[in-house]
Chain A
Amino acid sequence: MQVKRTPKTYDVCIIGSGASGGTAAKVLSEGGLSVALLEAGPPLVPERDFKEHVWPYDLPHRGAGVGGAARRGLEDEFLAPNGAWEIEGEPYVAAPGSKFRWFRSRIVGGRTNHWGRIALRMAPVDFKVRSHDGMGDDWPLSYEDVAPYYDKVESYIGVFGTKENIPSAPDGIFLPPPKPRCTETIIKKACDKLNIICVPSRLAILTQPLNGRAACHYCAQCGRGCKSASNFSSSQVMIPPAEKTGRFTLITGAMARELIVGKDGRVSAVSYVDKATRTEQRIHARAFVVAASACESARLLLNSRSTLFPDGLANSSGVVGRNLMDTVGSDGGGYFESLEKMPPHNHDGVGGMHMYLPWWKFDRKNEFLRGYHTEFGGGRGMPGVGDYDDLCDDFEGYGTSLKQECKKKYGTWIGFAGRGEMIPNENCYCEIDPSAMDQWGIPVLRFHWKWSDNEIKMARDMQETYKEIVEAAGGVYLTDHRSDGPNPYGIADGGVIIHEVGTVRMGEHSATSALNQYCQAHDVKNLFVTDGASFVTNADKNPTLTIMALTWRASDYLLAEAKKGNI
């Protein structure tokens, strides 16, 4: 007679190893639980995958990619190992009349391998927007509930910044910021004149050694991968401590297809595709943490249908896929003659801005609700492919004079990027496409998108502000976005700012939300969705620090429940 082996049951199975999944892995395994983590992508090997300090001329394509693919078009510029707008074999669909772009990474660490590392806390008012202005919904928790977890995350990952006491931009636990670059000095002076707040930025990059990681060496190449892990990525900062516990199992090349529910209404297993063998596998666990990135998590729940949950798992409210939000983005910039006179000097610094503009009009009535912050940069960066074509377009001709003109214009740009709050609306959501599927037969998402008037007004305000700043700083504003057309005032298409959140939102009531304040499903107690899907609103703050704080908080709660025997 054959003895039937019972499969190993982990305490927790996490799906996804990005900002959220990595944080859960660290906290849960260090808390004493046995953890399995499914990651759709391959492992990350810094020695192989990181191109820190490589010069463009060391590469035959000079960084332009095969066939010049990275030369033209924003989407192509984002091509990096295992991160892209389009992934072969894994399509998504935009509904007729909708434009939506979805940037995904398939690698251990997810998009934290590429992110800008801007790490901003949400403000107290951001959690209570409905009480404040009547639109959207309040979060089921307050700033005070999250603040201790912001503290924990910042202290552990390392964020630089300064204490400023600005209501729209709460202070955190900061390392000292790097000194301003020339471009930043110019803009700071102009902002002072205009009474616009301009302060050191807050980035998850070490300016001092921390927890065994070295301080930044100022090569400005964070996004190419940092061999000394001086910047934050989940792969280099969250996964290693989990592995150290001996209770952590990382399973790469594993694409979760469906969460399987037992007769008791709890999730008992996750079914996944082992990409290497194209076989179906299962992991059993007592609790499940879904952290595949906001829309991907919604997709997994919607694809997990059963007799108990015919509309998708944890979706008795019908909100899964709804309330999809991105950030309002509009960009502008100009030319500064003063920068032509700048003597050659090292302008690199950290990979990202040393200063930024938090939302400064919080104390007045504006034409639109909520606010935006502004990121800016420019100057003498490392020359890259595509940098020179538009300059040469300006001059035309050929010969020594062309060569000299191009040189003269080098480093004379300063650009601005507005990052503003979008209020969720019923026209923005994702759902399972009725016909399309990916290469593993998993049904894919269809996106619906429409900006509302509030966001357009915000984009207009951004354009007016950037023109004002550039001119106050003695520059020439060169952006001229139309007020009409598909992208009024240069507003970016949905998804393009890569801050998509809100598709499995939390709330007090199970009728209008899918999760409670601990990211635990109202309908299924051993299921947690900890990534940006849980967001109720999308403040002007880039979401990742909050994703990590909420995940840490949810993980602490899960640990406590596990101790009580509730999970």
Chain B
Amino acid sequence: MSISRRDILKSLTITAVTGSVLRVIPLEAAEYAHRMVKAEKADSQTYVPKFFSAHDYKTLQTLCQTIIPADDEAKGAIEAGAPEFIDLITSENKDYQVALGGGLMWLDNTCLDRYGKFYLECAPAQQKEFLDLIAYTKNAKQDPSLGQGIEFFGFLRKLTADGFFTSEIGIEYLGYIGNTFLKEFPGCPPVPGI
């Protein structure tokens, strides 16, 4: 298991304070964009992608939902708004545009080579077969031509997880109880062994 320094820092006192603050407080611009997205959604009821083409956005949505699907316990990445989150920040970030825009093109082209169809049109079994190849870094050892695809999928998985677990659905799924007013802090509940 790997852990980055950043992970640890994040769970820390001062850095957690500032971290959580700063993670959650956006710049003024973010708020502006927020109002913008909200207003747009209110107008049309559907989100109009800012960066991805209609076809690519559809693929993105499908991939997000495959990464974190709905199940008995909670809805999935689409309901959690992960694709919108990803599209918005991608529209503002040149590196993400290359990584994700290029990644989706790679995906379609490679599927076209293998199955004669774009990813979305592939049969579910073909989609699964293909994802099983690019969802694991170890596969790059056997087939280096998958390297870029694995990189892309890994990045998309991170963003999808971020989008899902910061949503109302995701937070409820995790069982985070907080961000509220307490008169007194009760401390650790009685748990055997702690």
Contact = CB atoms under 8 A, between A and B. Distances in A.
B83 interface: no
Interface stretch (B11-19, B52-60, B109-117): B11-19
Interface stretch (A217-225, A509-517, A532-540, A548-556): A217-225
Interface string B23-45: 11111111101100110000000
Interface in A329-350: 331-333, 335, 338, 341-350
Given A217-B181, A407-B173, A399 B29 contact: no
B145 interface: no
A377 B3 contact: no
29 contacts: A54-B25, A62-B166, A63-B24, A64-B85, A67-B89, A68-B96, A69-B93, A70-B22, A71-B89, A80-B25, A81-B27, A118-B13, A180-B188, A182-B194, A186-B194, A217-B181, A341-B191, A342-B194, A345-B188, A377-B11, A383-B166, A388-B162, A392-B161, A393-B154, A400-B69, A417-B14, A478-B8, A479-B3, A479-B8
A398 B1 contact: no
Interface residues of A, number: 109
Interface of B: 1-31, 33-34, 37-38, 66-69, 71, 74, 81, 84-85, 88-89, 92-93, 96, 131, 135-137, 154, 157-159, 161-168, 170-171, 173-189, 191, 193-194
Contacts of A217: 181-183
Contacts, number: 357
A56 B84 contact: no
B90 to A, nearest CB: 8
A140 interface: no
Nearest to A84: B22
Given A51-B25, A63-B166, A387-B165, A218 B185 contact: yes
A193 interface: no
Interface of A: 51, 53-71, 73-74, 77-81, 114-118, 178-182, 184-186, 201, 217-225, 331-333, 335, 338, 341-353, 356, 375-394, 396-400, 402-403, 406-407, 410-411, 413-417, 476, 478-479, 490
A37 B175 CA distance: 47
Contacts of A413: 7-8, 11
Contact of B186 (A78, A333, A346): A346
B193 to A, nearest CB: 6
Contact of B11 (A53, A349, A379, A388): A379
A117 B176 CA distance: 25
Nearest to A407: B174
Given A60-B84, A383-B176, A478-B3, A223 B21 contact: yes
Contacts of B163: 62
A222 B17 CA distance: 7
B11 A382 contact: no
B14 A115 contact: yes
Given A410-B174, A413-B11, A61 B17 contact: no
Nearest to A54: B24
Given A64-B162, A490-B5, A387 B186 contact: no
A381 B20 contact: yes
A181 B187 contact: yes
Contacts of A415: 7-12
B22 A80 contact: yes
B135 A396 contact: yes
Given A181-B187, A333-B11, A346-B180, A65 B26 contact: yes
A224 B25 contact: yes
